[in-house]
A and B are shown apart, each in its own frame.
Chain A
Amino acid sequence: MGVDIRVEELSKSFGKQLIWGDVTLTIPAGEVSVMLGPSGTGKSVFLKTLIGLLKPDKGSVIIEGTDIASCSEKDLYEIRKLFGVLFQDGAMFGSMNLFDNVAFPLREHTKKGESEIRNIVMEKMDLVGLIGAEDKLPGEISGGMRKRAGLARALVLDPEILLIDEPDSGLDPVRTSFINQLFIDLNAQIDATFLIVTHDINSTRTVPDNIGLLYHKHLAMFGPREMLLSSEEPVVRQFLNAQTVGPIGMSEEKDADELAAEKDIEMPPLPPIPLQLEPSNGIPRRSQRPAGEWCRTNGITPPPGSFESSNAGLTPGS
């Protein structure tokens, strides 16, 4: 069972520039959460702060009672063993082949024998569909394979928390769907807490249990998927539906003139909420909630056509 991550009033700036301030949220244990945000809002910085690679200016990140932001280096290295992290490009060690890469955490942290290591590594390689490529060097394989290999390495120590940085950047739509399915299946299997950072709308609409949106140096909203997908809040609405109309502009926020110019333009109606992606074996995940439950309990009428198909409201081919 995964563990939850409690983030309290976290702020981070580089020099005088504030990246985001007063971010407070709890990433629920065992659930799949997605952190969204326009380019350059510090999503990756947020991820790196969660694992203690960057020190926040203030606030705390509490995992199993330890505050990542202020604990000693020794505790930090200890708590990191709970984490699996998939970096954007996989961050494979260039001098080792895939097998050694995936085996690396086992060899460093456990006293397992080579045959046992081999079994575990092959099991994880099988999980991500890389059987037969274990002798290749990271430089010899495609970006998608590197990502999957990175995932295998992140899984090898059976993490309680899996942090994933832009799993879909540089992947084609088919591979993106496969990797999304893989995340759901993995969550069903190992019950770890997943946090995915992305700006792929289709994945966001179908994969997670919870969605968060970082915008304009703060956390605009964090909550169940249905809450954000049915939200009328302009920023959330604009971003989750990939519109040009709304407060987010090309460079940063729009200025007053631009906002005034589009004040008469109606925002298009909310598209229907798609069904959530289910594990491929059909057995629901432990953290999975029935479709439409949140809307019913909170008295929100979902947009017409919701929860009827798994690709409702998705932009095809993107």
Chain B
Amino acid sequence: MASLTTSRALAPIGTAGKLFAFGLDVGRGLFRRPFQLREFLQQAWFIASVTIVPTALVAIPFGAVIALQVGGLIKQFGAQSFTGSAAVLAVVREAGPIATSLLIAGAGGSAIAADLGARKIREELDAMMVLGIDPIQRLVVPRVLACMLVAVFLNGLVSVVGVIGGYVFNVVLQDGTPGAYLASFTALAQLPDLWQGMAKALVFGLIAAIVACYKGMNAGGGPKGVGDAVNESVVITFMLLFVVNFVMSAIYMQLVPPKTG
């Protein structure tokens, strides 16, 4: 009985270990030739097509909310001239990667998990292995790379759309002056902020794709198993991404000193 409880309590660690091992397999698959360029392009296009519009639509209110919050706060401090810089900082540093992670996990990851899960229960993956083809190399690696690429682009999209959204909101609704908003653009934000946003997006894409592929490829028990796999992959990805986001932000804060003057 005791061993049963222990084994049940330790089960999540086993899952985490398997996920990590899967990640290593994918890492090894990255360098195996031939590279599946066609699959990579198809997947990149597919993931982009399911995420671009929702990302843009999420980015606008995201930018507006930040402008609203920061604008109000900054008015209380009497530093309206820095509204623009604060909004840029918030969007580029945090909102961009967070919105990207939500969309990559919610739209891209769920699509990947559903696709691979359906292939798994239809025995397509088995058939592929039997035909002497490694599904990790043939299917997973292109998806992971595609997801990472698209995540970086999405991050850029969120940054641009978010900043524009904040600008419009600030100028039109909050009576901010366009000049002040634009002039203070670079007062606080700096170039490394952009790099860390992109680095985060890259890592988020990687994690989302690996979790989605792992869950999809291990779906079992008929059509219901596919649904469960999609659900679990989204939930796990969200949790991982928020934790990783925190860790990466903390490291970044330590490494790059805030801009002064």
Q: Of residues 9 to 36 in A, which have CB atoms within 8 Å of B's CB atoms?
A: none
The distance from the CB of A64 to the nearest CB of chain B, in whole angstroms, is 15
Please encode chain B, from 107 to 145, with 1 for each CB lying within 8 Å of some chain A CB and 0 for all others: 000000000001100111011111111100010000000
Instruction: Report the nearest B residue to A79, measured CB to CB.
Output: B132
Most buried by A among B118, B124, B130, B134: B130
The distance from the CB of B42 to the nearest CB of chain A, in whole angstroms, is 9
Q: A85-B127, A87-B127, A91-B127 are in contact. Are A109 and B122 (CB under 8 A)?
A: no
Instruction: Report the nearest B residue to A81, measured CB to CB.
Output: B132
Cβ of B127: which chain A residues have Cβ within 8 Å of it? 85, 87, 91-93, 150, 153
**Are the CB atoms of B132 and A105 closer together than 8 Å?**
yes
Interface residues on A, range: 20 to 34
Most buried by A among B118, B119, B127: B127
**Are the CB atoms of B118 and A94 closer together than 8 Å?**
yes
Question: In the complex, A94→B131 CA distance in Å?
Answer: 16
State the total of A-B contacts with C-beta under 8 angstroms.
53
The distance from the CB of B105 to the nearest CB of chain A, in whole angstroms, is 23
Q: Of residues 101 to 154 in A, which have CB atoms within 8 Å of B's CB atoms?
A: 104-105, 108-109, 150, 153
Q: A85-B127, A91-B127 are in contact. Are A77 and B132 (CB under 8 A)?
A: yes
Question: In the complex, A104→B119 CA distance in Å?
Answer: 16
Interface of chain B: mostly helix, strand, loop or mixed = helix
Most buried by B among A73, A108, A150: A108
Which of B123, B132, B134 makes the CB contact (< 8 A) with A91? B123
Instruction: Report the nearest A residue to B131, measured CB to CB.
Output: A105
* A80 in contact (CB, < 8 A): yes
Question: In the complex, A89→B128 CA distance in Å?
Answer: 14
Which of B123, B126, B131 makes the CB contact (< 8 A) with A104? B131
* A78 in contact (CB, < 8 A): yes
Cβ of A87: which chain B residues have Cβ within 8 Å of it? 123, 126-127
**Are the CB atoms of A77 and B123 closer together than 8 Å?**
no
**Are the CB atoms of B129 and A91 closer together than 8 Å?**
no
* A238 in contact (CB, < 8 A): no
* A88 in contact (CB, < 8 A): yes
Which of A48, A73, A91 makes the CB contact (< 8 A) with B124? A91
**Are the CB atoms of B132 and A80 closer together than 8 Å?**
yes
Cβ of A150: which chain B residues have Cβ within 8 Å of it? 127
Instruction: Report the nearest B residue to A87, measured CB to CB.
Output: B123
**Are the CB atoms of B123 and A78 closer together than 8 Å?**
no
* A3 in contact (CB, < 8 A): no
* A222 in contact (CB, < 8 A): no
**Are the CB atoms of A48 and B122 closer together than 8 Å?**
no
**Are the CB atoms of A108 and B123 closer together than 8 Å?**
no
**Are the CB atoms of A83 and B133 closer together than 8 Å?**
no
Question: In the complex, A157→B131 CA distance in Å?
Answer: 9
Question: In the complex, A73→B133 CA distance in Å?
Answer: 11
**Are the CB atoms of B129 and A89 closer together than 8 Å?**
no
**Are the CB atoms of A48 and B131 closer together than 8 Å?**
no
Question: In the complex, A51→B130 CA distance in Å?
Answer: 7
Cβ of A94: which chain B residues have Cβ within 8 Å of it? 118-119, 122, 124
Cβ of A295: which chain B residues have Cβ within 8 Å of it? none
Question: In the complex, A77→B134 CA distance in Å?
Answer: 8
The distance from the CB of B63 to the nearest CB of chain A, in whole angstroms, is 37
Most buried by B among A77, A81, A88, A157: A77
Which of A48, A78, A109 makes the CB contact (< 8 A) with B126? A48
Most buried by A among B118, B119, B123, B138: B123
Question: In the complex, A108→B132 CA distance in Å?
Answer: 9
**Are the CB atoms of A109 and B132 closer together than 8 Å?**
yes
Cβ of A1: which chain B residues have Cβ within 8 Å of it? none
Cβ of B122: which chain A residues have Cβ within 8 Å of it? 89, 91, 94
Cβ of A105: which chain B residues have Cβ within 8 Å of it? 131-132
* A53 in contact (CB, < 8 A): yes
Cβ of B118: which chain A residues have Cβ within 8 Å of it? 94
The distance from the CB of A112 to the nearest CB of chain B, in whole angstroms, is 15
Cβ of A153: which chain B residues have Cβ within 8 Å of it? 127, 131
**Are the CB atoms of B131 and A78 closer together than 8 Å?**
no
Q: Of residues 214 to 257 in B, which have CB atoms within 8 Å of A's CB atoms?
A: none
Q: Of residues 148 to 173 in A, which have CB atoms within 8 Å of B's CB atoms?
A: 150, 153, 157
Q: A94-B118, A94-B119 are in contact. Are A108 and B131 (CB under 8 A)?
A: yes
Instruction: Report the nearest A residue to B123, measured CB to CB.
Output: A91
Which of A48, A78, A89, A92 makes the CB contact (< 8 A) with B132? A78
Known: A77-B134, A88-B123, A109-B132. 17 other contacts (CB 8 A): A48-B126, A51-B130, A80-B129, A80-B130, A80-B132, A87-B127, A91-B122, A91-B123, A91-B126, A93-B124, A94-B119, A94-B122, A104-B131, A105-B131, A105-B132, A150-B127, A153-B127
List 10 tightest A-B contacts by C-beta distance, closest first. A91-B127, A91-B123, A85-B130, A80-B132, A87-B123, A81-B132, A105-B131, A77-B132, A91-B124, A51-B130
What are 10 A-to-B residue pairs whose CB atoms are below 8 Å?
A53-B130, A73-B134, A80-B131, A81-B132, A92-B124, A93-B119, A93-B128, A105-B132, A108-B132, A153-B131
The residues of B with any CB-CB pair to A shorter than 8 Å are: 118-119, 122-124, 126-134, 138
